[in-house]
Amino acid sequence: MGDFKVAYEGLQAEQAYVRGTGIAQASISKAIEGFPADVAHWGPWGALKPPMVAAFQSLDATNSTAAPGLGSVADLLRQVLVAYQHTEIANTVTK
């Protein structure tokens, strides 16, 4: 029971940690959203804007998927936790 409790709590902590890290990673995209657009008047520097905007959009498109990406790991850990619980219940019943 002791080993189970330690592993269970470890996985529980891991699940929350991984999900939180995914949210933090994805928050970078939101934090810098629209950055190049914040430069209101480009004048001759306007030629720099399209590649800058494209770079920010590209980063946003990929990095914003960090939350569901790491969230999927957390979901999987939850499945493992359920499996642990089932195993522990089965073992207890057998004993």
Partner 1 sequence: MTAPAPLATINPYFSNQAAEASMLQVRDKIQEICNSLESMRPVVYDTLKAMLIASLGSASAFVTTCWAAYEGVIKLAPKLVEWWNDLNQWVWAPQNILDLATAMQPAYDKATECQQALLRGAMPADKLWEGAAVDAYYAHIAKHNAASVDVQACIKSMTDALRDAGSQGVIATFVALGALIAALIDLIVGLIALIPPATPGGAAIFGLGVVAIGAIIAGLGAFAQSRVGVVTAMQSKLDGTLRSNNFPGGAWPKAESKALTTAIENVGGWNY
Which spans of this chain sit near partner 1 (rule: CB under 8 A)?
6-7, 9-11, 13-14, 16-25, 27-28, 30-33, 35-36, 38-48, 51-52, 54-56, 58-59, 61-63, 65-66, 68-70, 72-73, 75-76, 79-80, 83, 86-87
Q: How far is the CB of 91 from partner 1 (least distance, A)?
A: 12
Closer of 44 and 95 to partner 1 (Cβ): 44
- Give start and end residues of each alpha helix (H) in 32-65: 49-63
Q: How far is the CB of 57 from partner 1 (least distance, A)?
A: 10
Closer of 11 and 95 to partner 1 (Cβ): 11
Q: Which of 22, 9, 14, 30 lies closest to 72, judged by CA?
A: 22
Structural contact between residues 67 and 22, judged by C-beta atoms closer than 8 angstroms: yes
Dihedral, CA of residue 21, residue 26, residue 27 and residue 33, to nearest 10: 170
- CA 2 from chain center: how many Å? 30
Q: How far is the CB of 80 from partner 1 (least distance, A)?
A: 6
